[in-house]
Amino acid sequence: MPSDPAVSQRTEADISTQSAELPSATVAKQLPHGRLLGRILRSYGLLTALVAVWIIFAFATAGIFLTARNFSNLIRQTAVIGILSVGMVMVIITAEIDLSVGSLVGLTGMTAVLVQTMWHRGLFLSVLLGICVGLAAGALQGWLTAWGKIPSFIVTLGGLLAWRGATQGISGGNTYPIEVDSFKAIGQSYLGSTAGVILAAIAIAAVIVSVIFRNRARRQHGLLPWGWAGLALRIVVPCLLIVIFVAALNAYAGIPIPVLILAGIGLGGEFLTQQTRFGRHLYAIGGNAEAARLSGIGLRTNVLVAFCILGALSAVAGMIYAARVGSAGPDAGTLLELDAIAACVIGGASLMGGRGTVFGACLGALFMVSLDNGMSLKDIPDFVQNIVKGGILVAAVGLDMFGRRRGEK
């Protein structure tokens, strides 16, 4: 059986991606000090920063920030940005960008709600048409980028304006309330505690299986497999977090439906990027597009698929956004593209391409929403919040560039 060209002619970015987030002793010996330090910071820095932010806001709000009710709201708010980040990180890995997802959130949410209010259709058709609109928009932008050779920055900047204009056009500038209760439940309902416990058990089993398969993949790709201590660390820590997470949500009203959707999409995205040929090709394209082309990887097709996935996920996020607020408005989703990009970069993705993970992007989304939530509880003015988030984004990109320069020495 012929070998996968993306494996037989691995680029540097592909090899670094297949390595674990926690560098093994062998990999550590092969890395310059600057790159090793950068990898350690990317592995632990965001999680440490997130815990620090939670502690600071817990004290600043006299414990309100970490109450079960606020934690549930915090996680539910993370769902929209998290879903966008899952698709965005795939595009960023290929060294492309999408500035239109916020406008696409508004367009797809409005489309789904108008199907209910004007056509008087139910949940299935409204969701289906919303996803079709998102998929078509993503495919168009991907085609213009991959085959039209137009920079994705320009294509999606145009999309940002065009999709916002389309939303305002089909809505007439009006806000439409959601009439279908089952659609509204997508953004507002909860699973009971029993269902939460069952899902936690399934998630724990999935973590164990995933770690075992990833360790096997490392061995097949010629990398040093994790020892028993490494395996235990990668199994125990996520499983403990799952138990704490579900227990905290069950302490209020259960697991919010948007969080369940995010979890499913996140797991699917993590599997797609880490365990499939498509995922390896994305990293190869972002790491060295010319080497990937010479290895037989279809650059244009893979970039198109990445944009299509992001378009479809933007539609899912748009419908959750509309369902959560109970209506679709012409300005829905404004600036969400910046939150999604910031979440990916803060989560370890590089705007230069070739690096990033779905897990890191979702963690970055949680970090961004935690800042919003905590600063809102403290009644910090909006302009200060924007300054803080903008500074964090610039700092994250600066650290990424600093790490790359150190690694090149």
pLDDT at 15: 38
Flag whether 1 is in a domain.
Answer: no
Return the minimum-mean-pLDDT range out of 36-45, 110-119, 377-386.
Answer: 36-45
CATH at residue 401 = 1.10.3470
The chain-wide mean pLDDT, for the chain, equals 84
For residue 405, pLDDT over 80 is answered with: no
pLDDT at 403: 64
Residue owning tokens 């010629």? 222
Return the minimum-mean-pLDDT range out of 144-148, 158-162, 230-234.
Answer: 230-234
With vertex at residue 139, the alpha carbon angle to CA 134 and CA 145, rounded to the nearest 5 degrees, is 130
Please tell me whether the overall predicted TM-score, pTM, comes out greater than 0.75 for this model.
yes
CA-to-CA distance for 308 and 289, rounded, in angstroms?
A: 20
Helix%, strand%, coil% for the chain, nearest 5: 75, 0, 20
Query: Packing angle between helix 299-325 and helix 181-188, nearest 10 degrees?
Result: 100
The string of pLDDT tens digits covering residues 346-369 is 888 888 888 889 988 999 999 999
Q: Residues 185-191: what's their mean pLDDT?
A: 89
Flag whether 247 is in a domain.
Answer: no
pLDDT at 13: 41
Flag whether 375 is in a domain.
Answer: yes
For residue 33, pLDDT over 70 is answered with: no
Flag whether 4 is in a domain.
Answer: no
Q: Residues 8-25: what's their mean pLDDT?
A: 39
For residue 342, pLDDT over 50 is answered with: yes
The string of pLDDT tens digits covering residues 228-269 is 877 788 888 888 888 988 898 888 888 999 999 998 999 899
Which tops the pLDDT comparison, 80 or 392? Answer: 80
C-alpha distance from residue 19 to each of 28, 31, 174, 244, 350 (Å): 11, 12, 50, 28, 16
pLDDT at 40: 47
Domain that holds residue 170: 9-192+253-383+392-408
For residue 114, pLDDT over 70 is answered with: yes
Flag whether 311 is in a domain.
Answer: yes
Tally of structural domains, the chain: 1
Flag whether 187 is in a domain.
Answer: yes
Contact 57, 372 (CB under 8 A): no
For residue 142, pLDDT over 80 is answered with: yes
- Closest by CA to 24, choosing from 218, 174, 204, is 218
Flag whether 232 is in a domain.
Answer: no
